[in-house]
């Protein structure tokens, strides 16, 4: 009963029929003035959890948010909904600032967004302390924890908010936090009595795929990314690369094939970044090729694919990055390319960081867990959700593993041979030479090498079968690639695990590539991929399957929206999401009342745009 006003606000302002998942519980807690820690997956609808209580409770809601881009987007979207929102960030000129303060101090704001740095300034804090606050929301709260994957020292100062604003309920929100990170958020932010609400991490509209890179080189990965994008023409997506150079090179290569692709990384100056972000948000079918500097808070709802040209750093990062696809609830894809050399690189990078050893150890473990998932043979969505602590998760039915369960080959014996060879060779050789050794094909072999018991014991397996086995051992941490200044050498990994393999207590299974184990096939022949492509494209074609008149209406609505967005200088989805436009095109409403019943059409938008939308639907322009 108490929630009725909240539900009414959700309907009237947002045009959503009802709360979903944990939203109603969290809103109820906030309305009752209690602290909350909320872990909801990306796209799970975190923002209304504090926006509605901020509107309904007396006073202004203060929202701490890490990025200016995120803030301005949220504030724009709120204004479109008719909510009194503003932001205080370093991008404002003095006059705009004064204006925001005037509104806040007159009690005319429902929501004020601020960065953690802004809040760290004493004079800002003191000025805010004089205001009546409805609540404080801390977005991307995992940034406070060094056990999380994106620790930001700035966030540490947020620990004092409880003391600075006694009696003001606080809510910390994040999309990714394992149990340890959650505990750390609670203690760092002094949310000791907060109710903790962890939603399911399921993202049923995302279909996940992971592909092993065919070869370690950049060009092969770039080529594969180009293929993947060519098959998704006209769709908007994000491609993550491990390096700035990588983003530039790939964006250029894509642009050369006519894809509206842009590079984005922290090395660009701020104006350039803003411009590229704006283009990505505004242009249909734009592709952003970015480092991880891009994304947090980028709230574009119709991203249809996220491709990792280089793998992410952890399962948290994976889920967060992939989670930027399909926020509108429509189908989207997450495709990750990975290889054994990537994990070697990841481990090296962690080792080079300036961090206490225990934090490094956490990150190494997180990296290994990620590769185990990518290279594993069980449902990807289930692996991720289990990692986040969900129990009894059913297979998703849509990931590559669920769609085409891999045949597993028991290669324990081959693994024993490979491990023994590396042991005998004492870490002196790289992967190619170890394979030559195993297959007895070392050119001008030295007598001492030929005399080893492991020389030629692997003749029954083709070289690329051996490559698979060794890659897998690297990913499982049974072998390690010592960088050796760009000429990597194979050495042994976890000694206890290796003993278990020798004893046969630990079995090694890899995905079966039938001809890879036939020594009669030519070595070095690139592996052929089977399946995958066709049904992926079929799913992506769902929209194309709509009747022609619906598609025409949708295109008219989209054209109308594009013009309006340009006029108002906001991203198109701030006006209406694609999903809402599709619904309108399908429903073909003939009156304002009918239009108002469509999800995503709230009162403010109905008043402002209703007539234009009906005109576009009826094509009377």
- 584 lines the binding site for Zn ion (CB under 5 A): no
Tokens of 58: 């007396």
Phi, psi (rounded to 5 degrees) for 404: -140, 80
Please count the residues of this chain forming the interface with ligand ADP, following the rule CB under 6 A.
Answer: 17
Specify the residue, 319 or 466, whose C-beta has the smaller distance to ligand ADP. 319
Specify the residue, 399 or 540, whose C-beta has the smaller distance to Zn ion. 399
Specify the residue, 436 or 583, whose C-beta has the smaller distance to ligand ADP. 583
Provide DSSP, 386-439.
Answer: HHTT--SPPP-SSSHHHHSPPPEEE-HHHHHHHHHHHHHHTT---HHHHHHHHH
Q: Are 463 and 513 in contact (CB under 8 A)?
A: no
Per CB under 5 A, which region of 192-200, 397-405, 508-516, 566-574 contacts Zn ion? 397-405
530-541 in b/e form (b: 16+ CB < 10 A) is: eeeeeebeeebe
Least spacing, CB of residue 372 vs Zn ion, in Å = 16
Parallel, antiparallel or unpaired: strands 261-264 and 287-290 = parallel
Q: Which residue is nearest to ligand ADP (CB)?
A: 45
Specify the residue, 421 or 601, whose C-beta has the smaller distance to ligand ADP. 601
3-state secondary structure at position 139: coil
Per CB under 6 A, which region of 36-44, 431-439, 463-471, 530-538 contacts ligand ADP? 36-44
- 45 lines the binding site for ligand ADP (CB under 6 A): yes
**Angstrom distance (rounded) from CA 284 to CA 280:** 8
Q: Which of 295, 301, 311, 572 binds ligand ADP (CB under 6 A)?
A: 301
Strands (E), 317-392: 332-338
- 48 lines the binding site for ligand ADP (CB under 6 A): yes
**Angstrom distance (rounded) from CA 356 to CA 368:** 19
Q: Which of 332, 396, 418, 475 binds Zn ion (CB under 5 A)?
A: 396
- 46 lines the binding site for ligand ADP (CB under 6 A): yes
Give the CB-side neighbour count of residue 440, counting CA atoms within 13 A. 12
- 326 lines the binding site for ligand ADP (CB under 6 A): no
Q: Are 41 and 319 in contact (CB under 8 A)?
A: yes
262-277 in b/e form (b: 16+ CB < 10 A) is: bbbbeebeeeebeebb
Question: Which helix (DSSP H) or strand (DSSP E) does residue 492 occupy?
Answer: strand 489-492
379 binds, among ligand ADP, Zn ion, none (CB under 5 to 8 A by kind): Zn ion
Q: Which of 27, 40, 343, 420 binds ligand ADP (CB under 6 A)?
A: 40
- 202 lines the binding site for Zn ion (CB under 5 A): no
Sheet holding 261-264, edge to edge: 206-212, 332-338, 305-308, 237-240, 287-290, 261-264
Specify the residue, 165 or 240, whose C-beta has the smaller distance to ligand ADP. 240
- 9 lines the binding site for ligand ADP (CB under 6 A): no
Site for Zn ion in 400-429 (CB under 5 A): 402
Strands (E), 247-345: 261-264, 287-290, 305-308, 332-338
Q: How far apart are the first and last CA of the chain?
A: 45
- 141 lines the binding site for Zn ion (CB under 5 A): no
Per CB under 6 A, which region of 46-54, 179-187, 218-226, 523-531 contacts ligand ADP? 46-54
Least spacing, CB of residue 371 vs Zn ion, in Å = 18
Site for Zn ion in 364-393 (CB under 5 A): 379, 381
* DSSP designation for 288: E
Specify the residue, 382 or 605, whose C-beta has the smaller distance to Zn ion. 382
Specify the residue, 144 or 379, whose C-beta has the smaller distance to ligand ADP. 144
Least spacing, CB of residue 381 vs Zn ion, in Å = 5
- 20 lines the binding site for ligand ADP (CB under 6 A): yes
- 399 lines the binding site for Zn ion (CB under 5 A): yes
Least spacing, CB of residue 608 vs ligand ADP, in Å = 17
Residue with tokens 């990025």: 67
Specify the residue, 110 or 299, whose C-beta has the smaller distance to ligand ADP. 299
Least spacing, CB of residue 405 vs Zn ion, in Å = 10
Q: Give me the residues that bind ligand ADP (CB under 6 A), please.
A: 16, 19-20, 23, 40, 42-48, 299, 301, 327-328, 577
Q: Give me the residues that bind Zn ion (CB under 5 A), please.
A: 379, 381, 395-396, 399, 402
């Amino acid at each position: 009963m108490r929630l009725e006003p909240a539900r009414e606000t959700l309907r009237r302002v947002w045009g959503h029929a009802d709360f979903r998942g944990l939203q109603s519980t969290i809103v109820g807690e906030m309305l009752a003035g209690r602290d909350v820690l909320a872990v909801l997956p990306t796209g799970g609808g975190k923002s209304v959890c504090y926006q509605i209580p901020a509107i309904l409770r007396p006073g202004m809601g203060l929202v701490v948010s890490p990025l200016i881009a995120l803030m301005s987007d949220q504030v724009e979207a709120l204004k479109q909904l008719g909510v009194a929102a503003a932001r205080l960030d370093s991008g404002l000129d003095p006059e705009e600032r004064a204006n925001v303060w005037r509104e806040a101090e007159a009690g005319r704001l429902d929501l004020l967004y601020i960065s953690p740095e802004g809040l760290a300034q004493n004079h800002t804090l003191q000025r805010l302390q004089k205001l009546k606050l409805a609540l404080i929301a801390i977005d991307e709260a995992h940034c406070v924890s060094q056990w999380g994957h994106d620790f930001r020292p700035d966030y540490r100062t947020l620990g004092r908010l409880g003391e600075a604003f006694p009696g003001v309920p606080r809510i910390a929100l994040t999309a990714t936090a394992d149990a340890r990170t959650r505990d750390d958020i609670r203690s760092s932010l002094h949310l000791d009595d907060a109710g903790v609400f962890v939603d399911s991490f399921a993202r049923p509209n995302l279909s996940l795929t992971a592909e092993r890179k065919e070869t370690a080189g950049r060009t092969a990965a770039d080529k594969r990314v180009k293929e993947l994008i060519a098959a998704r023409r006209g769709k908007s997506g994000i491609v993550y690369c491990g390096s700035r150079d990588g983003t530039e090179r790939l964006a250029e290569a894509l642009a050369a094939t006519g894809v509206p692709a842009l590079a984005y990384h922290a090395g660009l100056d701020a104006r350039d970044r803003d411009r590229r972000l704006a283009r990505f948000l505004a242009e249909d079918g734009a592709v952003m090729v970015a480092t991880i500097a891009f994304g947090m808070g980028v709230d574009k709802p119709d991203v249809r694919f996220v491709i990792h040209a280089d793998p992410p750093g952890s399962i948290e990062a994976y889920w967060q990055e992939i989670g930027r696809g399909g926020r509108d609830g429509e189908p989207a894809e997450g495709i990750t390319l990975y290889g054994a050399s990537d994990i070697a690189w990841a481990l090296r990078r962690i080792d080079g960081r300036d961090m206490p050893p225990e934090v490094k150890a956490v990150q190494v473990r997180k990296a290994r867990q990620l590769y185990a998932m990518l290279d594993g043979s069980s449902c990807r969505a289930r692996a991720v959700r289990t990692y986040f602590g969900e129990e009894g998760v059913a297979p998703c039915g849509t990931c590559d593993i669920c769609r085409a369960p891999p045949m597993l080959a028991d290669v324990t014996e081959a693994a024993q041979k490979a491990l023994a060879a590396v042991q005998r060779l004492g870490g002196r050789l790289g992967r190619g030479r170890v394979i030559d050794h195993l297959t007895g094909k070392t050119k001008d072999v030295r007598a001492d090498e030929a005399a080893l018991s492991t020389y030629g014991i692997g003749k029954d397996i083709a070289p690329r079968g051996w490559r698979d086995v060794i890659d897998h051992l690297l990913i499982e941490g049974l072998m390690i690639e010592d960088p050796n200044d760009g000429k990597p050498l194979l050495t042994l990994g976890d000694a206890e695990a290796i003993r278990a393999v020798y004893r046969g207590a630990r079995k090694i299974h890899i995905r079966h590539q039938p001809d890879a184990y036939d020594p009669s096939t030519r070595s070095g022949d690139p592996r052929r991929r089977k399946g995958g492509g066709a049904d992926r494209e079929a799913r992506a074609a769902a929209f194309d399957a709509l009747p022609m008149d619906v598609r025409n209406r949708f295109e008219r609505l989209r054209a109308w929206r594009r013009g309006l967005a340009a006029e108002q200088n906001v991203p198109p989805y701030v006006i209406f999401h694609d999903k809402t436009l599709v619904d309108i095109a399908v429903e073909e409403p003939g009156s304002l009342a009918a239009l108002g019943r469509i999800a995503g059409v709230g009162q403010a938008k109905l008043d402002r745009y209703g007539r234009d939308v009906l005109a576009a639907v009826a094509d009377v322009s």
